[in-house]
Chains A and B, each alone.
Chain A
Amino acid sequence: MKNILSIKNLIVRFYTYEGIVKALDGVNLDIREGETLGLVGETGCGKSVTSLSVLALVPPPGKIEGGNVILQTEDGSFDLLNQDEKFLRSIRGREISMIFQEPRAALNPVYSVENQIAEVLLQHRRKEFCKSALEQIENDLSKGSYKDFIYKFERKIYQKMLDNPNSFSLRILSRIPIMRRYQRRSKTEAKKEVIRILREMKLADPERVAEMYPHELSSGMAQRVVIAMALGCSPYLLIADEPTTNLDVTIQAQILQLIGELKEKFESSVLYITHDLGVIAELCDRVAVMYAGNVCEIADVFEIFKKPLHPYTQALLESIPRPGEKFSSIEGEVPGLVNPPPGCRFNPRCPKAMELCTLKKPMLTEAEKDHFVMCHLYSGSSK
């Protein structure tokens, strides 16, 4: 299967007052076409930073210091880290889109649902709406009325918009009162599309939801709206950053099911970030485990749960609470990333640590077929 996104040796550092935080230390990750990749790890291990780097949106004082993020699209492959801002803007929301953790905070409180989703659609799919608006204008013209001169004027504008939606003269025109009414047609088209998408999100009464403001939505509804916004342009890759953390369990189940179904329908790949191993087991095809800025193990979801190789993954699975058993946790603490331990970053907490572990950082190697692990215990066999 083809990779649609490969992250290679990604290094991200945050320059803070306490020192340089080495947040990502050579992350390697491939996302394949049509799969759901789960990204698990403790809080602060770099899951969210990884996802933001994919969109080149690491917030300051963070800096992407090295590596490649290669996106494969129908038009070829691009390294997202050395593209200009304009190109990135056309990628964000169109090729790669993102669902945020707190759905209600991710919606702007001053716009209705309809307006917010329409904005995203108009940003990336304006040409489609222009075409259907043009059809309508032709339809109105064929009827013939005293308003013909307006329709002809609108046709001219829309044809221009179809050629170059961001031309200077149109941007001026869209600022002039009365003149900017030409935008109504494309906006009504966009709003029709919004209702269609909301209906696909299985929202009851999408027409009513469309007119609501974010604070009127329940958190489940808000998350559906956010998902609708993310899937509005059928992206290649959907990044879901803990989308169900703040929802209660029944709604979580509904949302997970929805994401699963929509993924099939929109033919997208999903990068699902969570710390909940139960969700991973339910939703994902493959799992990547992260620890302190490194991806330490990537494998098929069944493989990970049946036969984890990395000592950290083993410890993580041990610490899932089970009824009747004594609760176990991982000894020690997540290391501070200003001065991470030398060698393998897990070595101070690792029960199987060797001398080599404190000296040399292990490489991500394929220990078994399609099962990558970053640990000295398994690198010997491949050498």
Chain B
Amino acid sequence: MGIKSRLKKFRTEMDPNIKELKFTMSRIKKSPLSIVGIVILLFFIAIALLAPILAPPGHPSQRGDPYMMPREGIYPEPQPPNSEHPFGTAQGQFDIYYGTIWGTRTALRIGILVVSGALAISLVIGSVAGYYGGIIDELLMRFTDIIMAFPGLILAMAVITVFGPSLDNIMLALVIVGWAGYARVIRGEVLKVKQEDYVEAGKAVGCSDLRIIVRHILPNAIYPIVIMASLDIGAIVLTAAALSFLGLGPPPGFADWGQMVSFSRGYIYANPQDPLKYWYTWIIPGLFIFAFVLGWNLLGDAFRDILDPTIRRR
């Protein structure tokens, strides 16, 4: 078999998938906002991947850790952008350019890991509670209520104090705080979907409970969660920033947008003559956070268009 005929065979085999992909692309093309969202996120992913090239580590002040921002001395007043520091330096002479580039990695890592961790826990708990009902539902949901009854930030702080302050423990704490809301929503959706005839029909053709939940209920119950989750990836970066601001996060100087904004706390309003003298200290990391959150929000809608067949084939 020559390469040409093999290619042809491959094409005919993959034909339905290619058609599906083409259709998805045409759907996405029709909603320009989701393209904007995808472009923004691709931009951030590119920055994260290319970080070592865009901002090569190796400054002596980093002590070999590429996630620490390099600093030139410890002089407190921020310095405006110059040829050496394209975005200027923050309080304590941390390089803002380096921090924003490597902070992209931190933001993506926090957002994606925390949300997927919370999703994994809540999918199991929410769907089991919703599907089986009765005493199982009661136990799991009351446990969820207990978690939700604590103010999120304070519970997260308690968790971090137990495990010790670090970025990994911030993520762990946010997962522990964050799953409860999803679990509630998933349970509600499962309760709704399990009333549908096709679930009954699935039982009538001999599907096991696991199969019913995984194949028939969750695919129909997951859309609100996917959208919620993609919105939350942005928001969680902010919460993580708040925690590191409280001194529970990574050591000062860690490349993290939230921390960079909190560095600029004293410099947002400079003086009556020139109020925006230190604009670069908060506008630049702020813009990164803004674009990141916006990108995920727009992608939330795009996800729905891509995934939900009843919306895509109107």
Contacts and interface: CB of A to CB of B under 8 A. Distances in A.
Contact of B203 (A57, A102, A216, A229): A57
A229 to B, nearest CB: 7
Most buried by A among B133, B198, B208, B313: B198
A165 to B, nearest CB: 13
A89 B309 contact: no
A109 B206 contact: no
A123 B207 contact: yes
A110 to B, nearest CB: 5
B197 A92 contact: no
A145 B2 CA distance: 12
A97 B205 contact: yes
B304 to A, nearest CB: 13
B203 A92 contact: yes
Contacts of A105: 196-198
A191 B201 CA distance: 20
Nearest to B217: A108
Contact of A93 (B133, B205, B310, B313): B205
Given A119-B215, A213-B310, A106 B205 contact: no
A254 interface: no
A106 B198 contact: yes
A172 B205 CA distance: 24
A91 B220 contact: no
Contacts of B196: 105
B16 interface: yes
A90 to B, nearest CB: 6
A22 interface: no
Interface in B114-162: 133
A215 B215 CA distance: 18
A349 interface: no
Contacts of A11: none
Contacts of B215: 119
A98 B313 contact: no
B277 interface: no
Interface string B199-238: 0111111111000000110011000000000000000000
Interface string A99-113: 011100111111100
A60 B201 CA distance: 16
Contacts of A8: none
A94 B201 contact: no
B206 A92 contact: yes
Interface in B283-313: 308-310, 313
B16 A110 contact: no
A98 B204 contact: yes
Chain B interface main SS type: helix
B309 A110 contact: yes
A215 B313 contact: yes
Contacts of B201: 98, 100, 106-107, 226, 229
Given A105-B196, A108-B198, A94 B313 contact: no
A89 B208 contact: yes
Given A100-B201, A105-B196, A213 B309 contact: yes
A108 B309 contact: no
Name, among B16, B133, B201, the residue most crowded by chain A CB atoms within 10 Å (CB to CB). B201
A100 B197 contact: yes
Contact of B205 (A60, A102, A111, A123): A123
Interface residues of B, number: 23
Contact of B313 (A57, A213, A226): A213
Given A89-B207, A215-B313, A107 B200 contact: no
A89 B206 contact: yes
Nearest to A108: B198
Nearest to B203: A57
Given A109-B310, A110-B309, A94 B206 contact: yes
A124 B197 contact: no
A55 B207 CA distance: 13
Nearest to A94: B206
Contacts of A119: 207, 215
A120 interface: yes
A94 to B, nearest CB: 7
A211 interface: yes
A106 B197 contact: yes
A349 B243 CA distance: 74
A120 B201 CA distance: 11
Contacts of A57: 200, 203-204
Contacts of A59: 200
A91 B206 contact: yes
B206 A123 contact: yes
A110 B193 CA distance: 12
A105 B207 CA distance: 17
Contacts of B216: 108
Interface centre among B200, B202, B204, B207 (most CB of A within 10 A): B204
Contact of A100 (B200, B206, B219, B309): B200
A129 to B, nearest CB: 16
A-B CB proximity, top 3 nearest? A93-B205, A105-B197, A92-B206
Interface of A: 55, 57, 59-60, 88-94, 97-98, 100-102, 105-111, 119-120, 123-124, 145, 211, 213, 215-216, 226, 229-230
Interface of B: 1, 16, 133, 196-198, 200-208, 215-216, 219-220, 308-310, 313
25 contacts: A57-B200, A89-B206, A89-B208, A92-B204, A93-B205, A97-B204, A101-B197, A105-B196, A106-B197, A106-B198, A106-B201, A108-B198, A108-B202, A108-B216, A109-B309, A109-B310, A110-B308, A119-B207, A120-B205, A124-B205, A124-B206, A211-B16, A213-B310, A213-B313, A215-B310
